[in-house]
Amino acid sequence: MDAPWVGRFLVLLLAAAAGFSAAAGGSGDDGWSMEVQAEVRGMDGYPVVLPCTFSHPQHSQHSLLQVMWRLGHGSAAAVLYRCTSRPGAAACEPDPQQDQRYRLEGNPREHDLSLRINGATLQDNGRYYCRVEVQGREHVSFENKMGTRLRVEAPPKILAVSVEGGGPAGFTAVCQVQGSPLPDIQWLGPDNLLEGSSPAPPLVLGSTGRYRTVSQLRDVQPGQRYICSASNPLGREQAALFVLRPRPPPPAAGPPPPLLLLLAATLGTKLVLLVGVGAWMVQGGALWGVGCWRK
Protein backbone atom coordinates (compact mmCIF):
# COMPACT_ATOMS: atom_id res chain seq x y z
CA MET A 1 0.00 0.00 0.00
CA ASP A 2 1.66 3.25 -1.17
CA ALA A 3 1.87 6.33 1.02
CA PRO A 4 -0.42 8.62 -1.07
CA TRP A 5 -3.23 6.06 -1.04
CA VAL A 6 -2.89 5.66 2.76
CA GLY A 7 -2.99 9.43 3.16
CA ARG A 8 -6.20 9.72 1.10
CA PHE A 9 -7.75 6.88 3.11
CA LEU A 10 -6.98 8.61 6.41
CA VAL A 11 -8.44 11.90 5.15
CA LEU A 12 -11.69 10.19 4.10
CA LEU A 13 -11.89 8.37 7.42
CA LEU A 14 -11.41 11.59 9.41
CA ALA A 15 -13.97 13.40 7.28
CA ALA A 16 -16.54 10.66 7.83
CA ALA A 17 -15.89 10.73 11.57
CA ALA A 18 -16.24 14.51 11.66
CA GLY A 19 -19.50 14.33 9.71
CA PHE A 20 -20.93 11.75 12.09
CA SER A 21 -19.95 13.85 15.09
CA ALA A 22 -21.61 16.95 13.60
CA ALA A 23 -24.78 15.03 12.79
CA ALA A 24 -24.96 13.57 16.28
CA GLY A 25 -24.38 16.95 17.91
CA GLY A 26 -26.94 18.71 15.73
CA SER A 27 -29.64 16.07 15.91
CA GLY A 28 -29.66 15.57 19.65
CA ASP A 29 -31.00 12.32 21.13
CA ASP A 30 -32.54 9.67 18.87
CA GLY A 31 -32.81 11.90 15.80
CA TRP A 32 -34.21 14.98 17.54
CA SER A 33 -33.17 18.55 16.76
CA MET A 34 -34.50 21.96 17.78
CA GLU A 35 -33.75 25.45 16.49
CA VAL A 36 -34.53 28.68 18.34
CA GLN A 37 -33.53 32.29 17.91
CA ALA A 38 -30.93 33.48 20.42
CA GLU A 39 -32.58 36.88 20.93
CA VAL A 40 -35.87 38.49 19.94
CA ARG A 41 -36.68 42.18 20.31
CA GLY A 42 -40.19 43.51 20.78
CA MET A 43 -41.97 46.79 21.44
CA ASP A 44 -44.07 47.56 24.48
CA GLY A 45 -47.76 47.13 23.65
CA TYR A 46 -47.22 45.15 20.44
CA PRO A 47 -47.30 41.38 19.77
CA VAL A 48 -44.04 39.45 19.51
CA VAL A 49 -43.29 35.92 18.23
CA LEU A 50 -40.62 33.61 19.67
CA PRO A 51 -39.57 31.17 16.89
CA CYS A 52 -39.00 27.49 17.72
CA THR A 53 -38.87 24.59 15.24
CA PHE A 54 -37.94 20.95 15.77
CA SER A 55 -37.54 17.65 13.95
CA HIS A 56 -38.17 14.14 15.27
CA PRO A 57 -38.29 10.55 14.01
CA GLN A 58 -41.11 9.79 11.62
CA HIS A 59 -42.71 7.21 13.93
CA SER A 60 -43.74 10.01 16.30
CA GLN A 61 -45.95 11.63 13.65
CA HIS A 62 -48.85 9.52 14.90
CA SER A 63 -48.09 10.08 18.60
CA LEU A 64 -49.70 12.52 21.01
CA LEU A 65 -47.52 15.62 21.41
CA GLN A 66 -47.41 18.03 24.34
CA VAL A 67 -45.93 21.51 23.91
CA MET A 68 -44.76 23.73 26.76
CA TRP A 69 -43.18 27.17 27.01
CA ARG A 70 -41.49 28.35 30.20
CA LEU A 71 -40.08 31.67 31.38
CA GLY A 72 -36.87 31.09 33.29
CA HIS A 73 -35.06 27.90 34.14
CA GLY A 74 -34.95 25.61 37.13
CA SER A 75 -37.23 25.70 40.15
CA ALA A 76 -38.06 29.39 39.63
CA ALA A 77 -39.38 28.82 36.09
CA ALA A 78 -42.98 29.77 35.28
CA VAL A 79 -45.01 27.72 32.79
CA LEU A 80 -46.64 30.26 30.45
CA TYR A 81 -48.17 28.00 27.82
CA ARG A 82 -49.06 24.33 27.49
CA CYS A 83 -51.09 22.55 24.79
CA THR A 84 -51.75 19.02 23.52
CA SER A 85 -51.61 18.04 19.86
CA ARG A 86 -53.62 14.86 19.16
CA PRO A 87 -53.15 12.74 16.04
CA GLY A 88 -55.40 14.01 13.26
CA ALA A 89 -56.30 17.24 15.11
CA ALA A 90 -56.00 20.50 13.21
CA ALA A 91 -54.72 22.56 16.16
CA CYS A 92 -52.93 22.18 19.46
CA GLU A 93 -55.47 22.24 22.30
CA PRO A 94 -54.40 24.56 25.17
CA ASP A 95 -55.16 24.01 28.84
CA PRO A 96 -58.58 25.26 30.01
CA GLN A 97 -56.99 27.89 32.28
CA GLN A 98 -54.57 29.14 29.64
CA ASP A 99 -53.77 32.87 29.67
CA GLN A 100 -55.09 34.29 26.40
CA ARG A 101 -52.07 36.55 26.00
CA TYR A 102 -50.12 33.50 24.86
CA ARG A 103 -50.97 31.28 21.91
CA LEU A 104 -49.12 28.88 19.64
CA GLU A 105 -48.26 30.56 16.37
CA GLY A 106 -47.11 27.35 14.66
CA ASN A 107 -48.43 23.81 14.24
CA PRO A 108 -46.63 21.02 16.12
CA ARG A 109 -47.56 18.56 13.32
CA GLU A 110 -45.52 20.78 11.02
CA HIS A 111 -42.64 20.88 13.53
CA ASP A 112 -43.35 24.51 14.50
CA LEU A 113 -43.69 25.46 18.18
CA SER A 114 -43.39 29.25 17.79
CA LEU A 115 -45.09 31.22 20.60
CA ARG A 116 -46.98 34.49 20.14
CA ILE A 117 -47.23 36.98 23.03
CA ASN A 118 -49.97 39.58 22.56
CA GLY A 119 -49.41 43.03 24.00
CA ALA A 120 -45.85 42.53 25.21
CA THR A 121 -44.83 44.57 28.26
CA LEU A 122 -41.59 45.37 30.02
CA GLN A 123 -42.42 42.65 32.54
CA ASP A 124 -42.11 40.07 29.72
CA ASN A 125 -38.36 40.57 29.46
CA GLY A 126 -36.49 37.35 30.18
CA ARG A 127 -35.31 34.02 28.75
CA TYR A 128 -37.88 31.60 27.32
CA TYR A 129 -37.60 27.85 26.73
CA CYS A 130 -39.73 25.68 24.42
CA ARG A 131 -40.22 21.97 25.05
CA VAL A 132 -41.98 19.13 23.24
CA GLU A 133 -42.94 15.73 24.66
CA VAL A 134 -44.03 12.62 22.79
CA GLN A 135 -46.58 10.56 24.70
CA GLY A 136 -46.60 6.84 23.91
CA ARG A 137 -44.90 3.59 24.75
CA GLU A 138 -41.63 5.47 24.98
CA HIS A 139 -42.03 8.85 26.69
CA VAL A 140 -39.56 11.14 24.92
CA SER A 141 -39.02 14.87 25.50
CA PHE A 142 -36.72 17.45 23.99
CA GLU A 143 -35.86 21.02 24.98
CA ASN A 144 -33.36 23.61 23.82
CA LYS A 145 -31.10 24.39 26.76
CA MET A 146 -29.97 27.84 25.57
CA GLY A 147 -33.45 29.36 25.27
CA THR A 148 -34.48 32.64 23.63
CA ARG A 149 -33.77 36.00 25.21
CA LEU A 150 -36.73 38.40 24.83
CA ARG A 151 -35.96 42.10 25.06
CA VAL A 152 -39.01 44.36 25.18
CA GLU A 153 -38.24 48.03 24.58
CA ALA A 154 -40.40 51.07 25.26
CA PRO A 155 -40.18 54.81 24.53
CA PRO A 156 -40.00 57.18 27.51
CA LYS A 157 -43.15 57.62 29.57
CA ILE A 158 -43.34 60.25 32.31
CA LEU A 159 -45.26 58.72 35.20
CA ALA A 160 -45.35 61.66 37.62
CA VAL A 161 -44.03 65.21 38.10
CA SER A 162 -44.27 66.84 41.53
CA VAL A 163 -42.74 69.38 43.92
CA GLU A 164 -41.38 68.52 47.34
CA GLY A 165 -39.96 70.42 50.29
CA GLY A 166 -40.38 74.08 51.16
CA GLY A 167 -39.30 76.39 53.94
CA PRO A 168 -35.60 77.15 54.45
CA ALA A 169 -34.55 74.07 52.45
CA GLY A 170 -36.34 75.35 49.33
CA PHE A 171 -38.37 73.42 46.77
CA THR A 172 -37.30 70.36 44.74
CA ALA A 173 -38.94 69.22 41.50
CA VAL A 174 -39.19 65.44 41.00
CA CYS A 175 -39.75 63.64 37.70
CA GLN A 176 -40.39 59.86 37.56
CA VAL A 177 -39.89 58.20 34.16
CA GLN A 178 -40.23 54.71 32.68
CA GLY A 179 -38.69 53.29 29.51
CA SER A 180 -36.28 50.77 27.99
CA PRO A 181 -33.50 51.53 27.34
CA LEU A 182 -33.55 53.59 30.53
CA PRO A 183 -34.34 57.19 29.48
CA ASP A 184 -32.06 60.16 29.95
CA ILE A 185 -33.75 63.07 31.82
CA GLN A 186 -33.09 66.79 31.42
CA TRP A 187 -34.77 69.81 33.01
CA LEU A 188 -35.71 72.91 31.03
CA GLY A 189 -36.50 76.21 32.71
CA PRO A 190 -36.98 79.87 31.87
CA ASP A 191 -33.34 79.97 30.70
CA ASN A 192 -33.61 76.72 28.71
CA LEU A 193 -31.38 73.84 29.87
CA LEU A 194 -30.75 73.87 33.62
CA GLU A 195 -27.49 72.76 35.15
CA GLY A 196 -28.82 71.92 38.61
CA SER A 197 -30.59 68.70 37.70
CA SER A 198 -29.34 65.58 39.44
CA PRO A 199 -30.49 62.00 38.78
CA ALA A 200 -31.63 60.05 41.81
CA PRO A 201 -31.00 56.31 42.17
CA PRO A 202 -33.40 54.18 40.09
CA LEU A 203 -36.57 53.24 41.90
CA VAL A 204 -37.04 49.57 42.77
CA LEU A 205 -40.76 49.08 42.17
CA GLY A 206 -41.41 45.37 41.83
CA SER A 207 -40.39 43.77 38.56
CA THR A 208 -40.33 47.15 36.73
CA GLY A 209 -37.55 48.65 38.85
CA ARG A 210 -34.94 48.21 36.10
CA TYR A 211 -36.95 50.41 33.73
CA ARG A 212 -37.81 53.35 36.03
CA THR A 213 -35.66 56.25 37.08
CA VAL A 214 -36.17 59.50 39.00
CA SER A 215 -34.54 62.90 38.46
CA GLN A 216 -34.58 65.78 40.95
CA LEU A 217 -34.12 69.49 40.33
CA ARG A 218 -33.25 71.42 43.47
CA ASP A 219 -33.85 75.09 44.34
CA VAL A 220 -36.82 75.61 42.02
CA GLN A 221 -38.37 79.05 42.34
CA PRO A 222 -42.08 79.72 42.95
CA GLY A 223 -43.88 81.38 40.07
CA GLN A 224 -41.68 79.67 37.46
CA ARG A 225 -42.42 76.98 34.83
CA TYR A 226 -40.13 73.96 34.48
CA ILE A 227 -40.14 71.13 31.92
CA CYS A 228 -39.03 67.53 32.50
CA SER A 229 -37.71 66.07 29.21
CA ALA A 230 -37.09 62.29 28.96
CA SER A 231 -35.53 60.64 25.89
CA ASN A 232 -34.08 57.34 24.68
CA PRO A 233 -33.39 55.97 21.16
CA LEU A 234 -37.11 55.24 20.73
CA GLY A 235 -38.48 58.73 21.38
CA ARG A 236 -38.93 61.70 23.69
CA GLU A 237 -41.61 62.87 26.12
CA GLN A 238 -41.96 66.12 28.06
CA ALA A 239 -44.11 67.31 30.95
CA ALA A 240 -44.45 70.87 32.26
CA LEU A 241 -44.51 71.82 35.93
CA PHE A 242 -45.59 75.24 37.27
CA VAL A 243 -44.50 75.99 40.82
CA LEU A 244 -47.20 78.02 42.59
CA ARG A 245 -46.30 80.68 45.09
CA PRO A 246 -47.13 79.68 48.69
CA ARG A 247 -50.20 81.31 50.20
CA PRO A 248 -49.50 84.07 52.77
CA PRO A 249 -50.37 83.12 56.35
CA PRO A 250 -53.69 84.47 57.73
CA PRO A 251 -53.45 87.62 59.92
CA ALA A 252 -53.06 87.01 63.63
CA ALA A 253 -56.27 87.40 65.71
CA GLY A 254 -56.15 90.62 67.84
CA PRO A 255 -58.59 92.22 70.38
CA PRO A 256 -62.05 92.94 68.89
CA PRO A 257 -62.93 96.60 68.23
CA PRO A 258 -65.17 98.53 70.75
CA LEU A 259 -68.20 98.38 68.45
CA LEU A 260 -68.15 94.62 68.43
CA LEU A 261 -67.79 94.55 72.21
CA LEU A 262 -70.83 96.83 72.59
CA LEU A 263 -72.88 94.73 70.16
CA ALA A 264 -71.92 91.54 71.98
CA ALA A 265 -72.92 93.10 75.35
CA THR A 266 -76.27 94.17 73.96
CA LEU A 267 -76.97 90.73 72.53
CA GLY A 268 -75.96 89.13 75.83
CA THR A 269 -78.42 91.35 77.79
CA LYS A 270 -81.25 90.45 75.42
CA LEU A 271 -80.40 86.79 75.76
CA VAL A 272 -80.56 87.00 79.57
CA LEU A 273 -83.94 88.77 79.41
CA LEU A 274 -85.33 86.16 77.02
CA VAL A 275 -84.15 83.34 79.24
CA GLY A 276 -85.78 84.96 82.30
CA VAL A 277 -89.14 85.50 80.58
CA GLY A 278 -89.09 81.95 79.26
CA ALA A 279 -88.47 80.54 82.70
CA TRP A 280 -91.35 82.58 84.16
CA MET A 281 -93.72 81.37 81.46
CA VAL A 282 -92.75 77.76 81.94
CA GLN A 283 -93.16 78.04 85.69
CA GLY A 284 -96.59 79.64 85.41
CA GLY A 285 -97.74 77.10 82.90
CA ALA A 286 -96.65 74.24 85.11
CA LEU A 287 -98.66 75.63 88.02
CA TRP A 288 -101.72 76.05 85.81
CA GLY A 289 -101.41 72.53 84.57
CA VAL A 290 -101.21 71.06 88.02
CA GLY A 291 -104.21 73.00 89.18
CA CYS A 292 -106.27 71.88 86.19
CA TRP A 293 -105.34 68.24 86.78
CA ARG A 294 -106.49 68.51 90.43
CA LYS A 295 -109.98 69.60 89.36
Neighbouring CB atoms inside 10 A of 71's CB total: 18
- Spans of all domains in the chain: 27-146, 153-242
What is the three-class DSSP state of 79? Answer: strand
The 10s digit of each residue's pLDDT in 62-100 is 678 899 999 998 888 899 999 998 887 778 899 888 999
Q: Give me the architecture of the 153-242 domain, per CATH.
A: Sandwich (2.60)
Question: How far does CA 100 lie from the centroid of its chain?
Answer: 18
The 10s digit of each residue's pLDDT in 232-263 is 999 999 999 988 877 777 776 666 555 433 33
DSSP string of 42-75? Answer: EETTS-EEE-EEEE--GGGGGSEEEEEEEESSGG
- Reported as a pLDDT band with limits 50, 70 and 90, residue 55 is confident
What pLDDT is stored for residue 180 in this prediction?
A: 93
Question: Which residues, in sequence order, are CB contacts of 280 under 8 Å at separation 6+?
Answer: none
Say whether 153-242 and 27-146 share the same fold: yes
Q: Give me the architecture of the 27-146 domain, per CATH.
A: Sandwich (2.60)
- Reported as a pLDDT band with limits 50, 70 and 90, residue 195 is low
The residue among 178, 179, 170 whose CA lies nearest residue 217 is: 170
